[in-house]
Amino acid sequence: MTGAKHDPASEPETAPEAPAEQVPAADEIVEIPVKAKRPGFVYFLGYGIMAPIARLVFRPRITGKENIPREGRVILASNHLSFIDSIVIPLTAPRRVQFLAKSTYFTGTGFKGWVSRQFFTSIGAVGVERGAGQAAQVALDAGKDILESDSAFAIYPEGTRSLDGRLYRGRTGVGWLALTTGAVVVPVGLIGTQEIMPVGSKMPRIRRISVKFGEPIDVSVHGTADSGRARRKATDEIMAAIHELTGQELAHSYNESPPTTVVQRVKRAIWWRELR
């Protein structure tokens, strides 16, 4: 493992922060992923059934599929507009893709729980459990395990979905993963997915979307994973590539809830001063 262990991030199931760029609340609830597993029969069965249906119904405009290496370590770094994004990426990519998801999708009981478990397994999700402590590092380790098996791993550098449609600043966990594993990064631009599954909706709507896979990025030119500057520069290059694909308005800030306590506000102020 490169670099020191660090405190938990707010949403490690999407994009945990890399070491030395965290200021979580002391009582923050976070997600700790279980050991990542390679997709098995259920994944291939589900993909074989769902992918053709999804293409027929939603008719996505897909460009740049040739930019995704067919083998080896690949990080698909995407903007995040809707819950449906985690379904769109695996179903439109030309190779098997895994990502982290909340454990509640895997632990339900009865028929509904079984359906949820089979569905998320079929699209390559890896379950995470609620907890506290060094959760962000554990989340990064799960992604690292997936990549070191020469697989493709999808991540949202913004950390959580954008509710206003703007593109937020990327958290450096994606840079840490790329620099630690040597994986190439393929930027992904999703356009219109928020129209299929708006926030609060329970059923998808039929809307046509665009999925753009950009040219692979080798971030090793920025340095090593134990350098905060290298992680930041790698992440910024990735976010710039995503922005070029989507054309979203830039937020120039992190997508996170405002601090609610004095301690959180003080930590946030210190962090920003050190970061600048």
- Give phi and psi for 261, each to the nearest 5: -125, 165
Q: Residue 264's pLDDT is what?
A: 55
In this prediction, residue 128 has a pLDDT band, given cuts at 50, 70 and 90, of low
Q: Residue 222's pLDDT is what?
A: 97
Which tops the pLDDT comparison, 136 or 115? Answer: 115
Q: Residue 270's pLDDT is what?
A: 56
Spatial separation of the C-alpha atoms in residues 117 and 108, rounded to whole Å: 8
- Judged by average pLDDT, the poorest of 101-105, 117-121, 201-205, 255-259 is 255-259
Structure tokens at 273: 């001063």
Per-residue pLDDT, averaged over 38-43, amounts to 60
Q: Residue 78's pLDDT is what?
A: 97
Q: What is the pLDDT of residues 65-97, one digit of tens each?
A: 999 999 999 999 999 999 889 889 988 999 989
Which tops the pLDDT comparison, 19 or 244? Answer: 244
- Is pLDDT above 70 for 108? yes
Query: 200 in the Ramachandran plot: left (φ > 0), alpha (ψ -120 to 50) or beta?
Result: left
The rounded mean pLDDT for the chain is 79
* Spatial contact of 157 and 77, defined as CB atoms under 8 Å apart: yes
Per-residue pLDDT, averaged over 169-173, amounts to 94
Which tops the pLDDT comparison, 146 or 201? Answer: 146
- Is pLDDT above 50 for 2? no
In this prediction, residue 105 has a pLDDT band, given cuts at 50, 70 and 90, of confident
Q: In sequence order, what are the residues at sequence separation of 6 or more whose Cβ sits closer than 8 angstroms to the Cβ of residue 3?
A: 18, 19, 20, 176, 180, 225, 226
Q: Residue 103's pLDDT is what?
A: 72
- Is pLDDT above 70 for 11? no
**CA 38 remoteness from chain centre:** 17
Per-residue pLDDT, averaged over 207-219, amounts to 96
Residue 134: CA count within 13 A, CB half-sphere? 10
In this prediction, residue 153 has a pLDDT band, given cuts at 50, 70 and 90, of very high
Structure tokens at 158: 């913004």
Q: Residue 3's pLDDT is what?
A: 41
The separation between the first and the last C-alpha atoms of the chain, rounded to the nearest angstrom, is 27
Q: Residue 15's pLDDT is what?
A: 61
